[in-house]
A and B are shown apart, each in its own frame.
Chain A
Amino acid sequence: MIPWLSPMLEQLFIEAGIETLLMVGAAAAIAVVFGLPLALLLYATGPGGLAPNGWVNRPIGLLINAVRSTPFIILMVAIVPFTRLVAGTSIGTGAAIVPLALAATAFIARLFETAFREVDRGVVEAARAMGATRLQILGKVLVPEAMPGLVAAITVTLVSLVGYSAMAGAVGGGGLGDLGIRFGYQRFMPEVMASVVAVLILFVQGLQSLGDWLVRRARRR
């Protein structure tokens, strides 16, 4: 597959690729599942929202900011007890997914919130005038109208996760980034490093193009 790598390295490479896909995919999926309601809650309770409530909005905002401002490598170590609770272990690919998902959730919640804020307030007002409940406004107006922005947010999150996943080696999570550091850097094997970088670039490019295409499809204006 990659002619300048030994068969053994090639095997490691494939395993690392699968680990990266697993970490990025699982963390992103969890981030969407938890980030979406969190973002809706932030939007709804924010100033001028459907149900403004500073006592709900501010603590959630603070928590999200705290997660986002902690360097990922520190976050990973700092939440080890939590990781152990959730994943049953603090090392390995599964254990790396926990901090990745946490960081991505905080990240995507803010991006989703921004996408909701960009929905025309007039459309929300029209729905209110029609007698829509708050839940109907969230589900039938905000989410569909914000869809292009939500898809773009997922794309950005996936790309960021590819970068974060390189640090997963610190808890034995494996992945392409970790392979690059251990072989390319620590064992002076520039061909491994170059291959890792090249594959990651291609992967990110592909993600971005797919994301852009989906955004265009979702945008009806």
Chain B
Amino acid sequence: MPVADAAPGAPPAPNDAAIRLYDLKRHFAGAGGALVRALDGVSLEVAEGEIFGIVGRSGAGKSTLIRCVNLLERPDSGAVRILGEDLLGLDDAALRERRRRIGMVFQHFNLLTSRTVAENVAFPLEIAGVPRAERAARVAEALALVGLAEKAGAYPAQLSGGQKQRVGIARALAPRPRILLCDEATSALDPETTQEILALVKRLRDQLDLTVLLITHEMAVVKEICDRVAVMERGQVIETGRVFDVFTRPAHATTRRFIADTIGHSIPPGTVARLPAPRAGEERRLLQVLFAGPASTRSVISEASRRFGIDLNIISGRIDEIAGEPFGLMALAAYGAPEAVAAALAWFTELGLGVTPVDEAEITHRAEAA
């Protein structure tokens, strides 16, 4: 099939990207006539075989964005290219045909209550006009993929949330799509089931060579399975990159808050209030140190203490692994002569650790507010 011409203004499109969104804008008239910029110039590229996460608070525009990929929502302007083809230029029939190649999984599963599990999975095949005999084989295959073969005859009402989502995934995969869209697919599930579903999505990606675009408000989901992530706020992508890079070097305050929520390195204010006062001629400084890369396994704390003659008091800390790489965050109170503390901080930075000074007053203030 010939590749459709690029929309006016869109950059030349190489065919390597599975999903390519260019300068999408979508505005609504909100409550009281105020203009809501759900999408305010979003560009994004998802490579084939990648799991790409879009994270953002509710109202950040991520729902609108994922709906633009299969044009459930039409952007006011911009370009949507899926597997090298411009979707906005297609007529209704052609668009429906393309949608059949893009699976979608939903937060509330959206199964047909009047159909059994097998009939639900058969639904997209029925719509596409797949003959009955082949339908049965494809349904069995899809249910086996998600490990629900024994529930084929059950009705959705008889299933748990995790099982319903497995049906949702089987239904999305039955037409053998190349792209899977996950719209908050784990947000209605408990943490344990969330892990199961995420592991399933990852396995299916590897097994079927899928490209996955997911939206979520939980950084934990991104950390678990995504290769790359985009952070959205007020209709814009404010940060994008490899998950490990974004976690270890967040450029934007919103991203840092997301990460803090996920790995919970917030500094306990009670502990800060009980810290001993610095001795005469010394100072106390609170810092947050981010461990990533080669120095993350080095015993930097005791080394700094010996080298610069300062005391380092660990207030909170956690070492984690993101995309298989060690990564940690630690809150420290450093005691010592001002110049010695400054030299230690400079040494940390030299080692490639991220050092952020923490404002004590802000933390105690937060404690009072809470």
B89-106 at interface with A (beta carbon < 8 Å): 95-100, 102, 104, 106
B44 CB to closest chain A CB (Å) equals 19
Give the docked Cα–Cα distance between A177 and B28 (Å): 56
Decide yes or no whether A132 CB sits under 8 A from chain B: yes
* A220–B99 CB distance below 8 A: no
* A141–B112 CB distance below 8 A: yes
Q: How many residues on chain A are close to B (CB under 8 Å)?
A: 21
Give the residue of B96, B102, B108, B156 whose beta carbon is less than 8 angstroms from that of A122: B108
* B112–A145 CB distance below 8 A: yes
* B127–A125 CB distance below 8 A: no
Decide yes or no whether A131 CB sits under 8 A from chain B: yes
Give the docked Cα–Cα distance between A123 and B124 (Å): 12
Give the residue of A126, A136, A147 whose beta carbon is less than 8 angstroms from that of B106: A126
Contacts of A128 in B (CB 8 A): 72, 99
Give the docked Cα–Cα distance between A131 and B175 (Å): 11
* A131–B126 CB distance below 8 A: no
Decide yes or no whether A130 CB sits under 8 A from chain B: yes
Contacts of B255 in A (CB 8 A): none
Main secondary structure of the interface of A (DSSP, over half): helix
Decide yes or no whether B113 CB sits under 8 A from chain A: yes
Give the residue of A130, A218, A221 whose beta carbon is less than 8 angstroms from that of B123: A130
Instruction: Select from chain B the residue with minimum beta-carbon distance to A130.
Output: B124
Q: How many residues on chain B are close to A (CB under 8 Å)?
A: 29
Contacts of A54 in B (CB 8 A): none
Decide yes or no whether A120 CB sits under 8 A from chain B: yes
* B110–A120 CB distance below 8 A: yes
Give the docked Cα–Cα distance between A136 and B112 (Å): 14
B107 CB to closest chain A CB (Å) equals 8
Give the docked Cα–Cα distance between A11 and B157 (Å): 51
Give the residue of B95, B127, B181 whose beta carbon is less than 8 angstroms from that of A127: B127
Decide yes or no whether A58 CB sits under 8 A from chain B: no
* B70–A123 CB distance below 8 A: no
* B114–A132 CB distance below 8 A: no
Give the residue of A122, A123, A140, A145 whose beta carbon is less than 8 angstroms from that of B127: A140
Chain B residues within CB distance 8 Å of chain A: 70, 72, 95-100, 102, 104, 106, 108, 110-115, 123-124, 126-128, 155-157, 171, 175, 181
Give 16 A-B contacts (CB < 8 Å), ordered by A residue. Answer: A123-B112, A123-B113, A125-B72, A126-B104, A129-B72, A129-B99, A129-B104, A129-B181, A130-B104, A130-B123, A130-B171, A131-B98, A144-B114, A145-B114, A220-B155, A220-B157
Other than the given A126-B111, A130-B104, A133-B96, 7 more pairs (CB < 8 A) read A123-B113, A125-B106, A129-B102, A130-B123, A131-B127, A220-B113, A220-B157
